[in-house]
Amino acid sequence: MATAVGKIKLTRSDLMGAFWRYIWLFQCGWNYERMQSVGYCYTILPILKKLHPDPEEFKKRFLGNLDFFNTNPVVGAPVILGGHIALEEAGASLETTEGFKVGLMGPLAGVGDTLVWGIYNSIIMSIGASMALGGSVLGPILAIVLVFFPYLGVRYWQFFWAYRQGTSLVASLGGGIIGRVTEFATLVGLTVIGGFAVSIVKLAVAWQPAITTTVAGKAATTTIAIQTQLDAILPLMLPVLVTALAYWLLKRGWSPIAVLGVLFAIGFIGGAIGFFG
Amino acid sequence: MNIVYAIVLAALAYYAWWDILGPTFTLAFRPLVSGFFAGLIVGDVRTGLLIGGTLELMALGVYTYGGATIPEYSVGAILGTYFGKTQGFAVGLALAIPAALLLTQVDVIQRTLNFVFVHRADTYAEAGDQKGFDRMMAWFSHMIWGFSRAIPVFLAVAFGQPIVQAITSFFNTYPWIDKGITVAGGVLPALGFAMLLKIMPVQKYPAFLLIGFVLFAYLKMPLVGIAIAAVAITLVYMSIKYRTAEA
Instruction: For residues A174 and A217, state if they share a domain.
Output: no
Instruction: For residues A80 and A128, state if they share a domain.
Output: yes
Instruction: For residues A110 and A141, state if they share a domain.
Output: yes
Q: What is the pLDDT of residue A2?
A: 43
Instruction: For residues A39 and A131, state if they share a domain.
Output: yes
Q: What is the pLDDT of residue A3?
A: 45
Instruction: For residues A163 and A242, state if they share a domain.
Output: no
Mutate to test the interface with A, among B46, B112, B223 (most CBs of A within 10 A): B223
Residue A60 lies in a domain: yes
Residue A256: DSSP 8-state: H
pTM of this prediction?
0.81
Instruction: For residues A53 and A180, state if they share a domain.
Output: yes
Phi, psi for A224 (deg, rounded to 5) = -105, 115
Option in A28, A128, A129 nearest B21 (CB)? A28
Q: What is the pLDDT of residue A179?
A: 66
Residue numbers in A near B246 (CB within 8 A): none
Instruction: For residues A155 and A257, state if they share a domain.
Output: no
Instruction: For residues A45 and A171, state if they share a domain.
Output: yes
Residue A33 lies in a domain: yes
Angle between helices B143-159 and B161-173 (to 10 degrees): 110
**Lowest-pLDDT range of A163-172, A224-233, B61-70:** B61-70
- Give the Cα separation of A250 and A245 in Å (integer): 9
Instruction: For residues A162 and A260, state if they share a domain.
Output: no
Q: What is the pLDDT of residues B159-193, one digit of tens each?
A: 887 877 787 788 788 888 878 888 887 888 788 78
Which of A198, A222, A246 is a domain's end point? A198
B141·A39 Cβ contact <8 A: yes
Q: What is the pLDDT of residues B50-99, one digit of tens each?
A: 999 999 988 887 777 666 677 899 999 999 999 999 888 888 888 888 88
Option in B26, B190, B210 nearest A148 (CB)? B26
Q: What is the pLDDT of residue A1?
A: 43
B30·A143 Cβ contact <8 A: yes
Instruction: For residues A59 and A143, state if they share a domain.
Output: yes
A262 or B63, greater pLDDT: A262
Q: What is the number of domains present in chain A?
A: 2
Burial label, B244 (beta-carbon count in 10 A; 0-12, 13-18, 19+): exposed
B45·A137 Cβ contact <8 A: yes
Which of A198, A218, A241 is a domain's end point? A198
Confidence band of B220 (pLDDT split at 50, 70, 90):
very high
- Give the Cα separation of A223 and A215 in Å (integer): 15
Report the SS3 class of residue B200.
coil
Query: Nearest CA of chain A to the CA of B92: how many Å?
Result: 15
% of chain B with per-residue pLDDT over 90: 56
A30·B195 Cβ contact <8 A: no
As a whole number, mean pLDDT of residues A95-101 equals 84
| DSSP line for B73-125 | HHHHHHHHHHHHHHH-HHHHHHHHHHHHHHHHHHHHHHHHHTHHHHHHHHHHH
Mutate to test the interface with B, among A49, A51, A113, A125 (most CBs of B within 10 A): A125
A98·B205 Cβ contact <8 A: no
Which of A167, A198, A229 is a domain's end point? A198
Instruction: Please determine, for residue A199, whether its predicted confidence score (pLDDT) is greater than 70.
Output: yes
Residue A40 lies in a domain: yes
Residue numbers in A near B187 (CB within 8 A): 201-203, 242, 263-264, 266-267
Residue numbers in B near A190 (CB within 8 A): 200-202, 205, 208-209, 212
Residue A7 lies in a domain: no
Instruction: For residues A165 and A207, state if they share a domain.
Output: no
Q: What is the pLDDT of residue B138?
A: 96
CA dihedral A123, A124, A127, A131 (to 10 degrees): -170
Q: What is the pLDDT of residue A108?
A: 77
Closest residue on chain A to B114 (Cα): A31
Residue numbers in B near A124 (CB within 8 A): none
- Give the Cα separation of A44 and A63 in Å (integer): 12
Residue A147 lies in a domain: yes
Q: Is A67 on the interface with B (CB under 8 A)?
A: yes
A24·B23 Cβ contact <8 A: yes
B28 or A168, greater pLDDT: B28
Residue A2 lies in a domain: no
Query: Nearest CA of chain A to the CA of B133: how many Å?
Result: 8
Instruction: Please determine, for residue A145, whether its predicted confidence score (pLDDT) is greater than 50.
Output: yes
Residue A5 lies in a domain: no
- Give the Cα separation of B223 and B227 in Å (integer): 6
Q: Which of B146, B72, B182, B216 is nearest to A235 (CA)?
A: B216
Residue A277 lies in a domain: no
- Give the Cα separation of A66 and B137 in Å (integer): 13
B118·A239 Cβ contact <8 A: no
Burial label, B172 (beta-carbon count in 10 A; 0-12, 13-18, 19+): exposed
Confidence band of B2 (pLDDT split at 50, 70, 90):
confident
What is the domain extent for residue A248? 202-272
| Arithmetic mean of pLDDT over chain B | 89
Instruction: For residues A207 and A234, state if they share a domain.
Output: yes
Interface ipTM > 0.90: no
